[in-house]
Amino acid sequence: MRVLIAGGGVAGTVTAMALRLAGHEPVVFEAHPSGGADAGAFLTVMHNGMDALRAIDAETPVIEASFAALGVEVIAPDGTTVGSRTFDRELDGPRTLTRAALYRALQQEAERRGIAIVRGKRLVSATGNITATFQDGTTESGDVLVGADGLHSVVRTLIDPTAEPPRYTGLTIVYGYTRAEGLPAAPGVYRMFRGSRAAFGYTTAPDGATFWFARVPDAERSRAEIAAVTPEGWREFAHAAFVGDPLPCAAIVAATGDDVHGGHSYDLPATRVWSTSSMVLAGDAAHAASPAAGQGASMALEDAVVLGQCLRDLPDAPAAFAAYDRLRRARVEKLVAVSAGSDVGASQGWAYRHHLDWSARITA
Ligand SMILES: Cc1cc2nc3c(=O)[nH]c(=O)nc-3n(C[C@H](O)[C@H](O)[C@H](O)COP(=O)(O)OP(=O)(O)OC[C@H]3O[C@@H](n4cnc5c(N)ncnc54)[C@H](O)[C@@H]3O)c2cc1C
């Protein structure tokens, strides 16, 4: 079956690899001319995400592009440590990397496996049996369309024009990277702070770079307003959220140059319809969690592998999509709900202790 995949991010590239193993013919169409959006952010692929990659032998490029995340420490506004957790090492451990590095690693691996990734192709519409139309006016035909086109998915609204749009979480997130000397080091560990107004976290990469983020309660601004904020503007915004707190957050922000990026955080609690007889959603297009649980990418990786198994084992696309919905929906919707109720929380055991076996047969 020729499968058109809209989106060459986490879900799209890995769905393509899984479908290739399942004997189908996937082609990925990525809107960006090179790589993906939100290149400023970094993330952690948790145990379950690494497990999903391992199910299709695709973990090595991600390991090579990342560093080990060892655990989490939570620090109160007065500077006392109120909790700590070491990540389970008996399972293969989680990995930290930038979103851009993750996209690059997965896209390169997909291409190495002979999968075409066509860049600069933004899907704008599609008919049911499938002719996909792109912004540049070109069209492509296939048997199935996978919407792996992220939070603001076009395929979601093609499947259900009444689908709920993403929900603003009330948080603006700022990411920064600095190599300034003299900052407190947290090698591989996420040190999370609950400041008096906002949450902050940082970790130190093996090469000494400090990766930090700030989650700041904020009124929603338009996309144009957000796009107009300069790195200096983001730095000042994050700094103001921690100044006066007896914590190192403001000092880390102040020691950062122009490698600062920001944006609002959205989630997507429940997408009623995930598929038609020839279109289906995967990853953030179907369900997006706020970043608090650190699980969005890992759940997208799981989706990709399970969707590949369903399209391998079931006789037609509608049966495959029904099984996929049955296998995935409760788990991902639980994650979105848990993440929405958390501020500096980290992935929980039920989420990361999850194993996928590529050879397991899926039944209707
Ligand atoms: C600030 C931030 C921090 C996060 N932190 C974490 C974390 O620590 N851990 C974690 O697991 N997750 C985290 N996440 C969530 C994680 O990034 C997402 O869950 C994950 O990227 C979802 O993968 P995806 O493939 O579904 O979507 P995406 O990775 O967003 O990929 C979608 C792709 O589709 C492309 N696209 C969009 N529209 C079209 C179109 N019409 N046609 C063609 N292509 C299109 C985009 O350019 C993009 O490349 C974070 C998210 C954000 C925003």
Distance 222 CA to ligand 1 centre (A): 20
The pLDDT score that the predictor gives to residue 269 is 86
Asked whether the predicted pLDDT for residue 347 surpasses 70, the reply is: no
In this structure, of 29-43, 129-143, 318-332, 336-350, the range with the lowest mean pLDDT score is: 336-350
In this predicted structure, what is the pLDDT of residue 37?
54
Q: Which of 34-43, 186-195, 202-211, 232-241 has the lowest mean pLDDT?
A: 34-43
Structural domain total, the chain: 2
pLDDT for 39:
64
> Helix, strand, or coil here: 74?
strand
CA distance 340 to 337: 5
Bridging pattern class, strands 123-126 and 116-119: unpaired
For the domain that residue 50 is a member of, what is the CATH number? 3.50.50.60
Separation between Cα atoms, residue 3 and residue 130, nearest integer Å: 9
Tokens 């990540």 sit on residue:
87
Cβ contacts of 310 within 8 Å, gap of 6 or more: 320, 321, 323, 324, 327, 362
The ligand 1 atom nearest the CA atom of 30:
44
Specify whether 214 is located in the same domain as 341.
no
pLDDT band at residue 167 under the 50/70/90 scheme: very high
- Whether residues 222 and 250 share a domain: the answer is yes
Among 157, 158, 148, 159, which residue's Cα sits nearest to residue 5?
148
CA proximity to 295, closest of 46, 42, 106, 15: 46
155 and 186 assigned to the same domain:
no
Nearest atom within ligand 1 for CA of residue 298: 11
Last residue of a domain, one of 236, 267, 298: 267
DSSP state of 165: P
Distance separating alpha carbons of residues 330 and 167, to the nearest angstrom: 19
For residue 40, report the phi and psi dihedrals to the nearest 5 degrees. -75, -20
Averaged pLDDT for residues 65-79? 91
Phi first, then psi: what are they for 137, rounded to 5°? 90, -10
What phi and psi, each to the nearest 5 degrees, are found at residue 20? -65, -45
Dump pLDDT digits (tens) for 120-145. Answer: 999 999 998 899 999 999 999 999 99
User: pLDDT over 70 for what percent of the chain?
Assistant: 96
Neighbours of 200 (CB within 10 A): 27
Residue that wins the pLDDT comparison between 35 and 117: 117
Judged against a pLDDT cut of 90, whether residue 91 lies above it is answered with no
Say how many residues make up the chain.
364
Query: What angle, rounded to 10 degrees, do the helices at 296-313 and 10-21 form?
Result: 30
Domain CATH code at residue 248: 3.30.9.30
pLDDT at residue 38 in the model:
57
Kindly report the backbone phi and psi dihedral angles of residue 87, in degrees, each rounded to the nearest multiple of 5, phi listed first: -65, 140
**Residue 206 is assigned to a structural domain of this protein:** yes
Q: Compute, in angstroms, the gap from residue 236 CA to the centroid of ligand 1.
A: 26
Task: Give the structural domain span for 231.
Answer: 167-267
Q: Is 300 part of a structural domain of the chain?
A: yes
Ligand 1 test: best mutation among 4, 5, 10, most atoms within 8 Å of CB? 10
Query: In this structure, are residues 172 and 264 in contact, taking their beta carbons and an 8 Å threshold?
Result: yes
